[in-house]
Copies of this chain bind each other. A is one copy, B any other.
Amino acid sequence: MKYYTGTEKGLNLKEVNRAVEQAFADHGKDLVQMPPKIYVTLPQGDFRTMPAYLPSLGIAGVKIVNVHPDNPARGLPTVMALTVILDIPTGKPEAIINATHLTDLRTGAAGAVACKYLSPKKEVVLGLVGTGRQAQAQVAAIGQEITINEILVWSRNPVHAERFSTDIQGIQCHSTSIERVCDCDVLVTTTPSKTPLVMSGWVHEGTHINAIGADAPGKEELEPALLSRASVFVDDMAQAVHSGEINVPIQKGLFSKEKVAGTLGEIIIGKKGRKRQSEITIFDSTGLAIQDLAIAKIAMMHGTAIVLPFA
């Protein structure tokens, strides 16, 4: 059995995007086994258990990931993750992977694949609502698929937005009002908000939005009126209804499952997609176990491991 840590360093993001794209394509073709994510509640947070089997990539396993919002005050990340990979012919534990940073990257990759298919242009102004680790991951991954000419960034905390602008290398980046940020070609929201931050009136026709932040019941970033104007694509229907951007609007009767335009997998295999240049498209990302397995495969191919006895 092997233990991998630090494998995110030096990963080829384009390779990650392609692996995640293949995983979603298989999801679109209904070739994967992926039971719904299971939540267990702890006093200061929760953890989620995500098993899956991806026959075409030849990988099976389970990601275990926590969400503890008070962790930063203790000097720990809010989200930490471990992926266990099983040998398919025998079921033997084959690898354990520190998946904390890989989780950021695989979520970034899903956003990048969504942009590849749904962005209205190949060269874009990118708007960012939220400036955490996931905002960075989205910029890095999306930049592999389309050209980011300029970034507009907003954070609830202006200091964070300024710091993000300063830290970004090689792309013009401006910290500005959320309303101004929403006036872009591709908008990426990555906050843990429980009330809508992005108002429908701020978003012009043709915009593509990666709605990344909502990944648990009660979370939402977009005004429900925006969903009604847009073609909303999800990563996985069951997970999105339970915990994605659409979960609160559905609970409130402001949106319904039937209004979902399709899944990212269906877009990749050509069954669904952007229909008009003027269409607003939304990708509602909750994060799938198959993304974790796809990136685990690449991490194991390129990473070095500590060998552990297992008898």
Binding site for B on A (CB under 8 A): 3, 5-6, 33, 35, 38-47, 49, 51-53, 60-62, 64, 66-68, 71, 74, 76, 80, 82, 84, 86, 88-93, 96, 98, 100, 306, 308-311
Distance A64 CA – B83 CA, assembled complex (angstroms): 11
For residue A42, which residues in chain B have a CB less than 8 angstroms away from its CB? 53, 60, 86, 88-89, 91
Q: Are B43 and A51 in contact (CB under 8 A)?
A: no
For residue A68, which residues in chain B have a CB less than 8 angstroms away from its CB? 89-91
What's the number of copies of this chain in the assembled complex?
Answer: 2
Q: Are A71 and B53 in contact (CB under 8 A)?
A: no
Q: Are A86 and B60 in contact (CB under 8 A)?
A: no
A38 to chain B, nearest CB (A): 5
Can you name 20 A-B pairs with beta carbons within 8 Å? A5-B308, A5-B309, A33-B41, A35-B49, A38-B51, A42-B91, A44-B91, A46-B91, A47-B51, A47-B91, A49-B49, A66-B86, A66-B90, A66-B92, A68-B91, A80-B90, A80-B92, A80-B93, A82-B84, A98-B310
For residue A71, which residues in chain B have a CB less than 8 angstroms away from its CB? 90-91
Distance A294 CA – B74 CA, assembled complex (angstroms): 28
For A91, give its contact among B67, B86, B91 (CB under 8 Å): B67
Q: Are B89 and A44 in contact (CB under 8 A)?
A: yes
For residue A74, which residues in chain B have a CB less than 8 angstroms away from its CB? 90
For residue A46, which residues in chain B have a CB less than 8 angstroms away from its CB? 91
Q: Are B311 and A5 in contact (CB under 8 A)?
A: yes
For residue A5, which residues in chain B have a CB less than 8 angstroms away from its CB? 308-311
4 smallest beta-carbon distances between A and B, as pairs: A66-B91, A49-B51, A68-B91, A82-B93
